[in-house]
Structure 1
Amino acid sequence: MDQLPLELLHWICNCFDDAEDVQNFRLVNKAFAAIGAEHLVRHVHFFLHEDSFKRLKAISEHPIISQHVVSLFYEADIYDDPMMGFVEWESHVDLRSRVDLGYVYVPDVNNDERAKRHERRIVEKFNRTPRHQLSKAELRKHYRIYQSLWQQQKRLQDTDQDLAFITDAMKHFPRLRSVVMSSGFWYRTRSEAVKRAFKDSLCYLHGDGPYNSWTEGTRQLKVLLEAALLTDTKLEAVLAGSISWQFFRLDEDTMVKMISACASLTTLNLMLSTGQDEDGDELGVEASWCRDSMRSGVLRSFLESIPNLRHLDVSFDVSNGPDDCFPARLGDVIGDNYVWPNLKELVLGHLDDASETQILDILKRHRSSLRHFGIDTIALNPGNSWLSLLPKIRDVVQLESACICGSLSTVDAMGLPEEAWNITPLDVAARDEEREELENFILDGGECPLNLDNMDFR
C-alpha cells in the first residue's frame, strides 16, 4: 500500500462517487488520509440557512480541505415574501403523501371503462383523506418553526450576512474557479439537505417567488459575483438558472461590478426566467417587458464584455408569454459583428426574429473554434426556411456535435407559422430518435428528417 504512486492514489479518489467513499479511503493510513483530504470537499453546496452558512465557514477554515475547493453551488430557493399568516400557511400544509394510499395510477384516456372506474376510485379515496392528521397545537408548533425560518432567511439578506459569509469563505478558497446558482430545478435537483433543513416548517420552498423584494435568483447571483470581486477570485465558470431577466436591470454601478467579476469566464450558462403569475401557474407573464429591455442590447453588451468564452448557453424559460411574445430576439443575444475567438460551444434557446443569413453568419464568424451548436426553439422570419438553413450549417462550420430541438418554426408576414416542427428537448428525454436523426444530418449529411409532410401542422 505504502508503495503506490501518489498519482494513482489521486486517480482513485477522483473515481469515487461521493464523500463517504473518500472518508473510508482516508481510514487506511496517514498517507491515505492526507491525500483523501484533498478530495473530500471539492464542490461545496450551501443554501440560505444559518446552519448551512456555518458549514461553509467551517470548510473554509479547514487548513487542508479549503485549499482544494474548486466550485460553489448555491441552492437559491427561499420562502415567498411576505410571510404567510397561519390560515394561509395551513392551507399549504399537505401531508397526504405520508398516508399509504399505494401507487396512484392514472389510466390513459384511451383505456377501457374498468380502468377509468379504478382511477376515479383512487382519486376519490385520495380526496377524502385528510390533508394531515395534526392537531391545532401541533400545527401551531410547526407554524412557529416556519415563522422562525422565514425570519432567519429575511435577516440573512436584509443585513447582508449572506454576502459576508460567502465573501469570507471565498477568501480561503485559492483554487475556486466555478459557481453554480440554481433555483427551482435548473442545473441541480433540489437536494435532500434543503428538504431536511426546512421540513419541519411543513412548507415547501417554492423557489424565489415573483413577489419577493428581489426577483428570482437575482440577489443570489449578485452576491456570488460580488463576493468573487471582493476576494479577487478569477472565476472561469458561472452557471445560473433559473434567474430573472431583471438581473440585467440592476443599476449601472452594480452591473459594472458584475461585468468585472465575469471578465475571466470561459463558461457561462444562463437560464433566464420571464416571471410567473401570483399562483405560479403561468410562466412568461413578463415576456413583453423582457423583450423591451433586451432590445436595448443590455444582455448582448454583457456577453460581449466576456472575451474569453469557450462555452456559452443562453436560454429563456418560455417561447412566448401570455401576449404571444417571445422574450428576446436572436440579435439581442448575439450581435452582428462580435467574435469570441475561442468559442467552442454555443447554445441558444427561445428566441425569434432570426434569419438564415444571421445564423449562418454567427457560425461563419466562429468556424475556426466552434465544435458544438445547439438550438432549443427559434422562430425564423418571413422568407426564411429551416429546410433551406439546416443543410447549409454543415457547409460553413465543422461541428463535432449538434442539438437542434424544441419548436422550429417560420412565420409569415402576419406572424402565422408557415413551417413548424416540435422536436423533443434534451431536458425532456435523454434519447429521442428524431433529434438524433437531425443531429446526424447536420454532421454527416444525407436526407433531412424534416420535410413538409411531417410538420406538426399541414
Structure 2
Amino acid sequence: MASIYSLPPEIHAQVIPYLSDTDLRNYRLVCKEMAIVGAMEYFRMMKFHASSTSVRRLQNMARDEHLRKCVQIFVWDSNLWDINVDTVDGWKQYLSDGWHNLHLESNYRKRYDTYRLPKHIEEIVDDTEAHVLIHKGHWTDEQATLAGILHQDNIHDLLQQFPALREIRILNGAFEMKNRGLEKTYIRIERDTLDLIPRGDNLFCPDLEHGPLGIHALVRTVEGMSSFMRPWRLEIDALDYTFFTPALYPEGIAARLDKLTSLTLALCYWRGGPEFTRRGGTANMGEEAKECKAVLKGKLFTQFLRSMRNLRSLSLSLQPRVEYGPFDAPGSICDLIPLEEDWTNLRELSLGHIDTSEQDFIKLFHNHCSTLKKLKLDDICLVPDGSWIHIFEVIQPISQLTSAAFAGQYLYGGCREEPNAQIWWLQGEIGPGLSRCLVRGEECPLRDDNTVWHGVTSDGYAWIGPEDWD
C-alpha cells in the first residue's frame, strides 16, 4: 500500500490548495519533500507595502533559491502614511477633524484586558506630539523606500529576483488575510490600530506626495513588470480617475502594456475620508461624477486599453450609482473601450456600473464574439434609451459563451430619470434565464410586460407599474 510519502508531487499539488493555513503549516513539518511542495502553495502570494521592513522581507526571501521560485503573485498594499500635513496648526486641525484621540482610546480598551491596560492610558492617548513623531518616522521611511528600491527606475531589480512572478494586485483600504489571500473589508482604513494616524488614513486625498489613490503603485508596477517581456496580469482595486488627465498620465506608458494579458480595474470617482467631508460630503458626489465623465471623454483611458494588444481578460467597473443624485454613470462604453478595434484573444469580459447605448453594446459584443467565452454584467444601463430585448435578439445567434452572469438587483433598460424606462428584477428567474439565453440558446426571458419599473413621475422618480404589485 502506498503511503503519503510515496505519492508523487503532482498529487500533493492537487491537495494542498484545499488545506487551511494551519494545516498547511503542519503539512510542511512532516518531511523535507512535503515542506518543499507545501512552500509552492504557502508562498505563492506575498504581500508588501512601501516600508523598508516590508521590502526587506521580500529581499530576504529572494536570497532563498527555492522560496523565490514559489512566488507567483505580489499584493501591493498601496495605503500610505502620507497625509499632506506639515505644520503644527495643520496637525491640530487634522486631528480635530478626525476624532483621532477618541478612536485611539477606544482601540486601547478593546485591545487589552482591563487589568492589562497601560498605566496612565489617558496621558498616552493624549500625547499627540509623541504620536505625530512616530507618524513622521513612518512617513520618512516610506519616502525613502519609494525613492529607493521601489522607485520606478529601480523596482525591476526587486521583481526580477522572483522568476515565477506573473501577477501584481494593487489593493488599498481595509482588508484581511483569508485563505492565503487578501479580502477587502472596507473602502477606507478602519481605525482599529494603536496608531493615532493609521497608514492610509487620508487614502482619498488628491494632494498626496505621490499622487491620488493608487497611482504611485500602478506607475511603478508597469515599469517593473514591462521590463521582463513576458505575459503578466494586473489587478487594481481602486484607481483615482485623475490618473487619466494629461497632467498625471505618464508619457510612454502605452509602450509598456503590450504583454499584459489580464486587467481588473475599478475606477474611483468620489473620495471618502476627511477630504471628502470637507468638500461637501455626499452633496459633492454629483460634481465628482461630472468631472470624471469629462476626463473619460478625453480618451486617455481608451488609449490605455488600446495598448494592451494581448488582453485575454478584462474586468472594468466604476463605483456604484448615486441613488440620491444624478442616476447616470460617470462613464459609458464608448468613453472607456476602443470600439473601433478588437482584442483578438479576449475570452473574459466583466463590466460594472457603466452606461451604454444599444448600438455600442452590440458592437462591443460583435467585435469579440468569436473568442469571448465568459461575460459578466453588473448594473449596466442603456442610455439614453434602447431595448435589451433587441440586444439579446441580436447577440444570441452569434454568442459562443460558456458562462454568462448578471449581477446586481436590476437590468436597466434606460435610466430611471428617462421616460419609458424599462427595468427588470434580476434576483428572480430573469437573471438565470438571461444566462441560459446566451449560453444554451434558450428563449430570452425579457418581455415588455414583466418589467418592475416603468417610466418616471413628474418629479423625476421612477414609479412602479400597478400590474406588478398589489
- TM-score band, normalised by the shorter chain? 0.7 to 0.9
Report the Cα distance in structure 2 between the residues aligned to 1:87 and 1:134, rounded to whole angstroms. 25
**What is aligned with 2:222?**
225
1:215 offset after TM fit, Å? Answer: 0.8
**What is the CA–CA distance in structure 2 between the aligned matches of 1:423 and 1:150, rounded to whole Å?**
51
Equivalent residue, structure 2, for 1:271 = 266
* Residue 409 of structure 1 pairs with residue 412 of structure 2: yes
| Aligned CA distance change for structure 1 residues 196 and 185 (closer, same or farther; 3 Å) | closer
Residues 382 and 224 of structure 1: is their aligned pair in 2 closer, same or farther, counting only changes over 3 Å?
Answer: closer
Report the CA distance shift for 1:380/1:14 in structure 2 as closer, same or farther (over 3 A): closer
Match of 2:6 in 1: 3
- How many residues in Structure 1 have an aligned counterpart in Structure 2? 415
**CA-CA distance at 1:141 after TM superposition:** 4.7
Percent same amino acid at aligned positions? 21
* 1:143 to 1:136, Cα distance in 2 relative to 1, 3 A: farther
Q: CA deviation at 1:434?
A: 5.0
Equivalent residues in 2 for 1:195-214 (5 A)?
199-204=193-198, 205-206=200-201, 208-213=203-208, 214=211
For residues 250 and 312 of structure 2, the distance between their equivalents in structure 1, rounded to whole angstroms, comes to: 25
Task: Give the C-alpha shift of residue 266 in structure 1.
Answer: 1.4
Give yes or no for contact 1:316–1:350 (8 Å, CA) kept in 2: yes
- 1:152 aligns with 138
Quote the offset at 1:177 in angstroms: 0.5
Segments of structure 1 that go 5 or more residues without pairing to the other structure are 101-132, 425-430
Query: C-alpha separation between the residues in 1 aligned to 2:202 and 2:397?
Result: 44
1:3 deviates by 3.0
Task: Verify: 1:319 aligned to 2:321, yes or no.
Answer: yes
- Residues 38/396 of structure 1: CA separation in 2 closer, same or farther (3 Å cut): closer
Displacement of 1:416 after TM fit? 2.1
Cα RMSD (Å): 3.7
- Pairs within 5 Å for 1:231-380: 231-232=227-228, 234-249=230-245, 254-256=250-252, 258-276=253-271, 278-279=275-276, 281-282=281-282, 283=285, 285-319=287-321, 326-352=329-355, 354-380=356-382
- How far off is 1:311 after superposition? 0.8
Q: Where does residue 72 of structure 1 map in the other structure?
A: 74
Once the two structures are TM-superposed, the CA of residue 432 in structure 1 deviates from its matched residue by: 6.7
Distance 1:198 1:235 in 2: 38
Contact 2:254 2:303 in 1 (8 A): no
Q: How far does residue 10 in structure 1 lie from its aligned partner after superposition?
A: 3.2
Gaps of 5+ in 2: 111-118, 176-180, 454-462, 466-470
Secondary structure of 2:350's partner? Answer: strand
Q: Match for 1:16: what amino acid?
A: L
Q: Match of 2:276, SS?
A: coil
1:247 to partner: Cα distance: 2.0
Q: In structure 2, how many angstroms separate the alpha carbons of the residues matched to 1:190 and 1:50?
A: 24
Tell me how far apart the structure 2 counterparts of residues 171 and 198 of structure 1 sit (CA, whole Å): 35
Structure-to-structure mapping, 1:187-202, within 5 angstroms: 188-190=182-184, 199-202=193-196
CA, structure 1 residues 189+336, in 2 after alignment: closer, same or farther (shift >3 Å)?
closer
The whole-number CA distance in structure 2 between the counterparts of 1:60 and 1:340 is 36
CA distance in 2, matches of 1:47, 1:423: 42
TM-score by length of 2: 0.76
> Secondary structure of 1:239's partner?
strand
> Cα distance, 1:245 vs. partner?
1.4
Distance 1:150 1:417 in 2: 55
Match of 1:454 in 2: 451
Aligned to 1:427: none
1:175 aligned to 164, 174, 179, which one? 164
Report the counterpart of residue 161 of structure 1 in structure 2: 148
Judged with a 3 Å threshold, the aligned counterparts in structure 2 of structure 1 residues 439 and 60 are, in CA distance, closer, same or farther, namely same
Aligned to 2:16: 13
Could you say what secondary structure the match of 2:321 adopts?
A: coil
Q: Which residue of 2 aligns with 1:124?
A: none
Does the Cα contact within 8 Å between 1:177 and 1:233 map onto a contact in 2?
Answer: no
- 1:14 CA displacement: 3.8
Whole-Å Cα distance in 2 between the matches of residues 382 and 154 of structure 1? 50
Give yes or no for contact 1:274–1:318 (8 Å, CA) kept in 2. Answer: no
Partner of residue 457, structure 2: none
